[in-house]
Structure 1
Amino acid sequence: MATAADRLLRRLEWQVVRRLDGQLQGSYRTLFRGSGIDFADLREYTAEDDVRHIDWNVTARLDEPYVRQYTEDRELTAWLVLDLSASMRFGGEGRGKDSTLTELAVCLARMLTQGGNRVGAVLFDNRHRFVLPPRSGRLHVLRLAHEIDKAAARPSEPGSTDVDGMLRLAAATARRRSLVFVVSDFIGAGGVDWEASLTRLTFRHEVVALRVVDPVELDLPDLGLVVVEDAETGEQVLVDTGDPQFRQRLRAEVDAREAAVDAAMRRAGVAAHLVGTDEDPLQALVAMIQDARRRRRR
């Protein structure tokens, strides 16, 4: 009998073949970095260097131009860093942020491994951390889907997401130059205390952030008196969602949080993509690839 993970993979494979074929196929390194070589080290810039190899993040921090050195490497390794914390369980039945994360992760893993590339994963919540070493093949993707399912079946742990800890674990795990997809809502009690860790991750890796959000988190509808529960702390508060002052304060808090996250992503030099739970995850991946191609042509 097929497991839930196997049924999910079969359904997504059918959709991927029909709708994403030609969009995610081909040279992923060429798409994201525009180079067929692998990062080796950093050194100071000299007049003979190609300016396209300047690492602008490091240059800005050290106030001296530095360039990336590369070595030939034909194989691409990708890592999926997956936030499985309590806040990712927010949303309707079967359409929560965790469901969107699962579909994004499985689709990315299947498309990457179809091209012969290796994919590893870091599954993270505050108490449980699981690392799936990079491998290729359909069975490996099925193992990933199974591990995500198993993690989702555990009771959620209270407490705010340690996004900084998740990114530090990713950096410690992915030793070799890789393409890293971070799938998370980037919501934690520390605000954007993860910015430094995200920046360090970009020193060695090409990093793409897929930020999963529920529309209700961005614009709370007028539902009258409701009990609102913090998904990470379990704290419950009775609020009047129709109160103009409450809505104004909430709007200001949401706008400030979104601005802080966007600014931190830009400073870290990370390509960030917002994926709503009301969106088609497959279409979101197409949009991500199209955006990467536009940025590469600039």
Structure 2
Amino acid sequence: MASAPDRLLLRLEWRVVRRLDGRVRGAYRTAYRGAGLDFVGLRGYVEEDDARHIDWNATARLDEPQVRQFTEDRELTLWLVLDRSASMTVGAPGRGKHDVLAEVALTCARLFSRGGNRVAALLHDGVTTRVVPPGTGRGHVLRIGHELGRAAAASPAASTTDFAAMLADAARLARRRSLVVVISDFIGTGDWDRPLLRLAHRHDVVALRVVDAADDDLPEAGLVLVEDAETGEQLLVDSSDPLLRARLRDAVAERDAVLAGRMRRAGVPLHRIGTDGDVLSALVAVVASTRWRRV
């Protein structure tokens, strides 16, 4: 019998990956001028050039050796930086934030590996970091899926997500220029602006924020016991209190504005993916608004 990651990947391949494949393949290309299929122009021949690239017709017309230039397809390495902290367990059974993260991560991994690119993953649970080194192929994507399954089976310790450490690990491990996709709810504390800036300076970084209604709203149910998933702190509150609800809305708006400002200063596009939404539609929007560079 197929394992849970096998079943999930098969479902995603039929429902999402096949429909997104063409969009992603056209979403990035290198600025490097070399050997390839797309002709971009001519330039004068220099000693280091391959003589096979000389355009003899242009050379005869200009009476000077001319070399054809092409847009070159080069291997891309995708790094998935995955937040597996306690706050990512929020949500309905089977459709929590960690479930959506797994779907998005495996979809991205399979899409890019189909083009022969390498995919790696960094899983951070707020305390420890597990790494799946770069690899390619469907089997490698399944390895990432099994690591995600292991992380879901373990109960994350109540702790605040250390984004600075997570981003610093990504910068240390991704040695060559890569596409880095950070998938998280971005609920945490601490100063991680500088690590994000360093990461974005060297790599193409995209942030996918997974959100659930429980992050932003409190149902009107009288006295309720609420718990901070990151710290384990509990508090008895009156969820029907209009003053409390107004303060909660203000805090959510401030948190969102601070996060958007951090991403904007780093030049990192931020996309929102809801647990109640469709992964395909969300990823189509991400691909449509992002032009990734191969280097």
Normalised TM-score (structure 2) = 0.82
Unaligned segments of structure 2, at least 5 residues = 35-71
The residue aligned with 2:28 is: 29
Structure 2 counterpart of 1:153: 153
Give CA deviations for 1:197-229 in whole Å, capped at 9, x if unaligned.
111001110000001111221233323222111
Mapped to 2, the partners of 1:288 and 1:160 lie a distance apart of: 28
Opposite residue 251 of structure 1, the aligned amino acid is R
Aligned counterparts of 1:238 and 1:281: Cα–Cα separation in 2: 35
Query: CA–CA distance in 2 between the matches of 1:89 and 1:243?
Result: 27
The secondary structure found in structure 2 opposite 1:239 is: strand
Runs of 4+ in 1 over 4 A off after TM superposition: none
Larger Rg: 2
**Which position in structure 2 is the counterpart of 1:260?**
258
- Between the aligned residues of both structures, percent identity stands at 57
Residue 289 of structure 2 aligns to a residue whose secondary structure is helix
Asked if 1:112 is matched to 2:123, the reply is: no
Determine whether 1:201 maps to 2:202: no
Report the residue type matching 1:224 in the other structure. G
> What aligned pairs does 1:1-298 form with structure 2 within 5 A after superposition?
1-24=1-24, 26-30=25-29, 35-36=31-32, 74-190=74-190, 193-292=191-290
RMSD (Å) for aligned C-alpha atoms: 1.9
- In the alignment, which residue of structure 2 is the partner of 1:44? none
Report the TM-score when normalising by structure 1. 0.81
* Contact 1:29/1:76 (8 A) holds in 2: no
Q: Structure 2 CA distance, aligned partners of 1:176 and 1:267?
A: 23
The Cα of 1:17 is off from its aligned counterpart by 4.6
**Aligned counterparts of 1:234 and 1:37: Cα–Cα separation in 2:** 54
SS at match of 2:290: helix
- The 2-side partners of 1:241 and 1:37 are apart by 61
Q: Secondary structure at the match of 2:28?
A: helix
Question: Could you say which residue in structure 1 is the equivalent of 2:47?
Answer: none
- Whether the 8 Å CA contact 1:81–1:181 is kept in 2: the answer is yes
How far apart, CA to CA, are the structure 2 residues paired with 1:112 and 1:223?
45
* Matched residue SS, 1:23: helix
C-alpha displacement of 1:18:
4.8
The aligned amino acid for 1:35 is A
Instruction: Give the total of aligned pairs.
Output: 256
Shift of 1:20: 2.1
> What is the CA–CA distance in structure 2 between the aligned matches of 1:161 and 1:95, rounded to whole Å?
21
Distance 1:261 1:17, change over 3 A: closer
Q: Give secondary structure in 1 for the equivalent of 2:144.
A: helix
Whole-angstrom CA distance in 2 between matches of 1:19 and 1:80:
21
In structure 2, the CA distance between the partners of 1:35 and 1:98, relative to structure 1 (3 Å rule), is: same
Could you tell me whether the CA contact under 8 Å between 2:211 and 2:275 is conserved in 1?
A: yes
Q: Secondary structure at the match of 1:20?
A: helix
Amino acid across the alignment from 1:145:
G
